[in-house]
Chain A
Amino acid sequence: MGSLERLAWLSSAAAVASAIFPAFGQEWGTRPLHRPGAVQLLEVPVSGNPIVPRREPAIQNPYANDAGAIVQGRKLFESLNCSGCHAPFGGGGMGPPLSDRDWTYGGEPAAIYLSIAQGRPNGMPAWSRALPPQSIWQLVTYIRTLGGAPAPDAVPAQPAPNRTRGSQR
């Protein structure tokens, strides 16, 4: 995909996202929104094995456990067709499941945030230009309730599983 074509696609996706979910971009949570800084994001480990032990605390989801964000995240999950690939309740399909504990690119909130924002090479679209950070965090908040979070940080919508997948897609 050329860069012009890509831009056109992204802006049309954003336009469609606004059209089908007109209020997206608004803030529903009760807490102030923290937009993670570029430097912080660059330091989010994907490998799960950072060479330099981190002293700073991991980036926190500003909406962690926020019931309103879970509701909004679920709406976004459906209206942006996340559920088309990852299936309702995150069982997986064209995209990997989000309801088990195997995370190809990390299951911590900041890692999920980056997967949504940047996209991933096996077909996950990059949403950073189509969605504002608060919408991505709302999605993260909802996804973390699907059962795949190593330690629940929100009220689970499904019983927490123990299943892991053998290999990665």
Chain B
Amino acid sequence: MIRSKTHWPVFVVYSGWLANALGSDEIVRLSQDDGQWVMAAKNYANTRFSGLDQINVDNVKQLRVAWTFSTGVLNGHEAAPLVVKDTMYLVTPWPNILYALDLNQAGAIKWVYRPNPSRAAQGVACCDVVNRGAAYAEGKIFFNTLDNHTVAVDAATGKEVWKTKLGAIAKGETMTMAPIVVKNKVLVGNSGGEMGVRGWLTALDTRTGRILWRAYSTGPDKDVLIGPDFKPPYVSGQNLGATTWPSEAAWQIGGGTVWSWISYDPEADLIYYGTSNASPWNAVQRPGDNKWTSSVFARDPDTGMARWAYQWNPHDLYDYDGTNENVLLDLTIAGQERKVLVHADRNGYMYVVDRLTGVIISAEPFVFTNTVKRVDLKTGIPDLATEKEPQLGKFVKDICPAPPGGKDWQPMAYSPGTGFLYVPHNNLCFDMKTMEVGYIAGTPYVGAEVAMKAGPGGNRGFFTAWDPIRNRKVWDIKEDFPAWSGALATAGDVVFYGTMDRWFKAVDAKTGRELWKFRTGSGVIGQPVTYRGPDGKQYVAVLAGVGGWAGAVVAGQLDPRVPYGALGFVGAMKDLPEVTGGGGTLYVFALPEELP
């Protein structure tokens, strides 16, 4: 794990204790090699921090394009490029093409793998046809297709090793998340919280693609993989995934999908991930807490059995998915060494949680919110503002944050150098009217009319530096549009992110001062990465190509005059088509030859 500010140079020394995590030690070693980038979040702790410092605050202004690559796809590019030795791997949005590019030859194509996913899958993907990236292990590249296949491809040859079908588009399921590999298992989950999909996380054998276990987010304990070792910090009782719903029929179509990030602590041997909103959005149809939607699980990767769980948003009212990343840090808090996970929830609160027990250490708002007044640290229950509760058939106005939350999927980074988290996020509010909705398999199961708008101040996004020990913002940068890209932190004290209005930016990790920016062809919603090329130089790479939920008005060519489009996101984004078109292009940057 990455250590806090004063300890971080020590972490490499600690890699010895990781050897007990069979099969994962190779991945830990690879993820600590800053020459490579072998999983979307860089490492198991999800810090997106690179020790490379060739590019630094003094010379970053001279950064220039080394080479580019067009993916040939127009939809939203949310993926992180992978770098393994001298090859870069890119997975595109549907049709999920996997490219291998030669870093010895400025990105010449080595091979192309086309999984040919079903066309119809596009019609059940809630929020554009995105893919968030691939994972490397054991000589193979693993990724998911929109039509619910996990694929293993030989990293050297591009030949398919195995392909396993995991879900059904006829039920509204898709797969968009980047897998991670833990102990010879590929971990993947489904998407479809807007389609009444029942969420799950599944482990596949890296060698064969055989399904080893599947943990549902809802239903009885045997389906959720809850046994005697399950010790949730704030609740007790059996089969809560069923008893907190009005009926079996309700939890069968109740959401809790697993479409975002997974972290892994090799020492505790636990994986951590969040579950989506409850279905339908209209909460009146599902009285109860609706466990374990909008929650975080800690599980044993070998068996899938849950160790603890905590529900960020019981009986979710506003599509507040709990899927945002959990960054694993070892911090000194109030004089005590704490093993924590840090999570910026859609509800606008930044949680610091003891990752061994699930007990909340702190929860402070990082963006304007009028839905959750505070989080009770004794009970773990968020205290809701009743005046913003949705009403059937009537618009409730100016609810903040909007369904994409104070922050959505866009992953934050952590620098052990500064001790700050770098959080790309939203500043959105919305009006909401709920209504009864019927479940028809393969169609949306929402029951709400939503129109989003900018939050206080009028800027729709922020890029915020946050101190997780002092629980406060250090600095922020206002962004006109939601900051929908990932963040990248480096030992050069330069932090990178992209914007939907076509800028890729480098800012000072300490102060937030803008150091450099580059005008991309399309808006940036991808995850920037950095690596050391075969020539020994540091490179920074990012995919441009606007889209995703926030950019659906461009990617889907929606009608900007109707605010309810894209589940209400169009209301806040009607001017996006005036500043960017679509189009997937990889940009790779480096310092000029004479530098450094």
Residues of A within 8 A of B558 (CB): 87, 91-93, 96-97
Could you show 25 A-B contacts with beta carbons less than 8 Å apart? A9-B170, A9-B441, A13-B440, A13-B441, A16-B438, A17-B438, A19-B438, A79-B438, A81-B437, A81-B443, A81-B444, A81-B446, A84-B437, A85-B443, A87-B567, A89-B562, A92-B557, A96-B558, A97-B557, A122-B120, A122-B123, A123-B120, A123-B124, A125-B442, A161-B561
User: Which chain B residues border A122 with CB–CB below 8 Å?
Assistant: 119-120, 122-123
B321 contacts partner chain A, Cβ-Cβ < 8 Å: no
Q: Kindly state whether residue A29 has any CB partner on chain B within 8 Å.
A: no
A125 neighbours in B (Cβ, 8 Å) = 123, 442-443
Chain A neighbourhood of B442, CB < 8 A: 9, 13, 125
**Taking the nearest CB of chain B, how far is it from the CB of A9, in angstroms?**
6
- A-side contacts of B437, CB under 8 Å: 81, 84
Bound-complex Cα distance A129 to B334 (A): 65
Taking a contact as CB atoms under 8 Å apart, the answer to whether A167 and B566 are in contact is no
User: Which chain B residues numbered 237 to 274 have a C-beta less than 8 Å away from chain A?
Assistant: none
Interface bracket on B: 35 or more
Contact B121–A1 (Cβ < 8 Å): no
In chain B between 545 and 596, which residues have their CB closer than 8 angstroms to a CB of chain A? 552, 556-559, 561-567, 570
Q: For the complex, count residues of A whose C-beta is within 8 A of B.
A: 43
Question: Which label, helix, strand, loop or mixed, suits the secondary structure of the A interface?
Answer: loop
Known: A81-B444, A94-B126. A163 touches B565 (CB 8 A): no
- Give Cα distance in the complex from A78 to B434, angstroms: 12
Which A residues lie at the B interface, using CB under 8 A? 1, 5-6, 9, 12-13, 16-17, 19-21, 78-81, 84-85, 87-97, 99-100, 102, 121-125, 158, 161, 163, 165-167, 169
Question: Given A84-B446, A90-B562, is A121 in contact with B556 using a C-beta cutoff of 8 Å?
Answer: no
Is A102 a contact of B557 with CB atoms below 8 Å?
Answer: yes
Instruction: Report B's interface with A, CB cutoff 8 A.
Output: 74, 119-126, 168, 170, 194, 435, 437-446, 449, 552, 556-559, 561-567, 570
- Looking at B121, B168, B437, B443, the one whose CB has the most chain A CB atoms below 10 A away is B443
Query: With a CB–CB cut-off of 8 A, which chain B residues contact A19?
Result: 438
Instruction: For the complex of A and B, list the 3 residue pairs with the smallest distance between their C-beta atoms, beginning with the closest.
Output: A123-B123, A84-B444, A91-B562
Q: Of B125, B441, B563, which is in contact with the most chain A CB atoms at under 10 Å from its CB?
A: B441
A91–B563 touching, CB < 8 Å: yes
Knowing A123-B121, A165-B557, the reply to whether A87 touches B441 (Cβ < 8 A) is: no
Given contacts A92-B556, A169-B556, contact A85 B444 (CB under 8 A): yes
Q: How far is the CA of A64 from the CA of B563 in the complex (A)?
A: 27
Chain B residue with minimal CB distance to A147? B559
B552 and A93 form a contact (CB under 8 A): yes
Residue numbers in A under 8 Å from B440 (CB-CB): 13, 16-17, 80-81
